[in-house]
Amino acid sequence: MSLAALRWLSDQKASFVMLERDGSVLATTGPVRSSDVRLRRSQALAHVSGAALRITRELIRQKLTGQELVARNKLLDSTTADRIATFSAELPTAENIASIRLIEAQAALAYWSAWRTLPLIFPKKDLPRVPEHWRNFGTRISALTGSPRLAVTPGCAMMNYLYALLEAETSLAARALGLDAAMGIFHVDQPNRDSLACDLMEPVRPQVDAYLLDWITTQPLKREWFFEKSDGNARLMTSLTEKLSQTSASWGRAVAPVAEWVAQALWNSTGKSASKGPTVPTRLTQRRRSEGRRNIFHVQMSPIPRVKNVCEVCGAEGVKNRYCRSCAVDASRETMAQVALLGHAKPKSKKTKTHISKTLSDHAVANSWWDTSSLPSWLNEECYVQKIQPQLRAIKVREISEVMHISKPYAALIRSSRRRPHPRHWEALAKLVGVSVEGEER
């Protein structure tokens, strides 16, 4: 990125975000606007004025409500959802931020425990190259750092990257409103961290969780999207980070009303500022402009880009359903075989057993009474294998079943060359596929 490119982005009122492969935010630039120093002073005095406690309580309340919905509606874990709701009910009585941190930590422990055994799907051809510990979402606490940083599973690595995108968008939103993105309210101050952005993004985290959950539970993850460093750190390849980065605009829209609400709450925390009315501009959502025109304001969420379907067998992208065209045939055959096994395992009635016994007996009698000399001399095993069997693939299973007087599942096995019929059926099959008496095709 050249200085001229950054200048062009500023003229277009566009933002630039640079992320490391592990999701660390390296740089963010956004449109520069004048800010009110009184707002930053209110932010600095938030713990003294009591605004910090009120803001923290509301942010964590929204976060826990979102996590409860994800656990109940996405993970289908009502027990975990009820536990999170119990912790959320304790927030109104929390007397300080330390108590809220404890409540949030307990809820997070229950929430992420429900994710730990969540299976990750990989295409069948990739499974031999997928490590065993990659096949579940795993714990959010990395064994390398004792924190979510440096994930060791693909699921956690994707989560970290999405959170980094959200953090970058939140930092830009805070600066656009004139707030100090590094001066936190709920998160303690740390060097080289936008603690306020970590505060503001808390209510939006469950939306990111729901998006990732829908992805990993419905679509396979390709092995080529990930690589593992020598220390066990799971990283994302560029092909996957490009897909994830397309969601940035959606997270920016989601965090905008949260950032504006916090800015207004800080402005109102000082009596002198509050007496002047709501003067903090709503640059992100244009809410006041909409309300000034007597319109009902609604948050306009950017549609989250849809994930392209991935074939569950070969990993090809852009398929319409679960499989690509080449893999759909084998998948349907496997499904039919499984259904057939279930049908054989199901207890049969006396009438069905009698019918099966009679059919098998009739075929055995026909085979024993059949005379090999009745078969034309040209119709031998070589002719069947080279001329008849290949053409059966173009014949419907129903037609093979009617000609041979056999069941459709067995006719399907004959058509796919997995079974070879008795020689007494070769002449009928030869007529069906159009092989003449001389053994040539008509």
CATH code of the domain in which 270 resides? 1.20.120.920
For residues 247 and 376, state if they share a domain: no
Confidence of residue 256 (pLDDT cuts 50, 70, 90): very high
> Is residue 408 in some structural domain?
yes
Residue 67 to residue 85: CA distance in whole angstroms: 9
pTM (2 decimals)? 0.73
Q: What is the 3-state secondary structure (H, E, C) of the chain?
A: CCHHHHHHHHHCCCCEEEECCCCCEEEEECCCCCCCHHHHHHHHCHHHHCHHHHHHHHHHHHHHHHHHHHHHHHCCCHHHHHHHHHHHHCHHHCCCHHHHHHHHHHHHHHHHHCCCCCECCCCHHHHHHCCHHHCECCCCCCCCCCCCCCCCCHHHHHHHHHHHHHHHHHHHHHHHCCCCCCCCCCCCCCCCCCHHHHHHCHHHHHHHHHHHHHHHHHCCCCHHHEEECCCCCEEECHHHHHHHHCCHHHHHHHHHHHHHHHHHHHHCCCHHHHCCCCCCCCCCCCHHHHHHCCCCCCCCCCCCCCCCCECCCCCCECCCCCCCHHHHHHHHHHHHHHHHHHHHHCCCCHHHHHHHHHHHHHHHHHHHHCCHHHCCCCCCHHHHHHHHHHHHHHCCHHHHHHHHCCCHHHHHHHHCCCCCCCHHHHHHHHHHHCECCCCCEC
Report whether pLDDT(316) > 70: yes
% residues pLDDT > 70 (the chain): 88
Look at residue 34 in the predicted model and tell me its pLDDT.
58
Look at residue 303 in the predicted model and tell me its pLDDT.
67
Residue 308 to residue 205: CA distance in whole angstroms: 23
> Is residue 212 in some structural domain?
yes
Total domains, the chain: 2
- For the chain, give the mean pLDDT: 85
For residues 264 and 390, state if they share a domain: no
> Is residue 352 in some structural domain?
yes
Q: Is the dihedral of CA 253, 258, 264, 267 positive or negative?
A: negative
- The region of weakest confidence among 15-19, 69-73, 154-158 is 15-19
For residues 81 and 179, state if they share a domain: yes
Report whether pLDDT(71) > 90: yes
Q: Of the residues 278, 295, 322, which one is the last residue of a structural domain?
A: 278
> Is residue 328 in some structural domain?
no
For residues 109 and 247, state if they share a domain: yes
Instruction: Quote the domain boundaries for residue 357.
Output: 347-433
Look at residue 302 in the predicted model and tell me its pLDDT.
61
For residues 140 and 241, state if they share a domain: yes
Residue 163 to residue 16: CA distance in whole angstroms: 17
Look at residue 438 in the predicted model and tell me its pLDDT.
52
Look at residue 440 in the predicted model and tell me its pLDDT.
47
Look at residue 70 in the predicted model and tell me its pLDDT.
96
> Is residue 24 in some structural domain?
yes
Q: Of the residues 257, 278, 299, which one is the last residue of a structural domain?
A: 278
Look at residue 299 in the predicted model and tell me its pLDDT.
62
- The region of weakest confidence among 316-330, 343-357, 408-422 is 343-357
Report whether pLDDT(441) > 60: no
Look at residue 296 in the predicted model and tell me its pLDDT.
62
For residues 86 and 198, state if they share a domain: yes
Look at residue 133 in the predicted model and tell me its pLDDT.
93
* Contact partners, residue 179, CB within 8 Å, separation at least 6: 35, 39, 40, 43, 196, 259, 262, 263, 266
> Is residue 383 in some structural domain?
yes
Residue 221 to residue 240: CA distance in whole angstroms: 10
260 or 299, higher pLDDT: 260
Look at residue 292 in the predicted model and tell me its pLDDT.
62
36 or 158, higher pLDDT: 158
- The per-residue pLDDT for range 161-200, each reduced to its tens digit, is 999 999 999 999 998 888 988 999 999 888 888 999 999 9
Q: Of the residues 224, 246, 278, which one is the last residue of a structural domain?
A: 278
For residues 270 and 354, state if they share a domain: no
Look at residue 439 in the predicted model and tell me its pLDDT.
44
Look at residue 290 in the predicted model and tell me its pLDDT.
66
- The per-residue pLDDT for range 28-66, each reduced to its tens digit, is 776 555 567 888 889 899 999 999 999 999 999 999 999
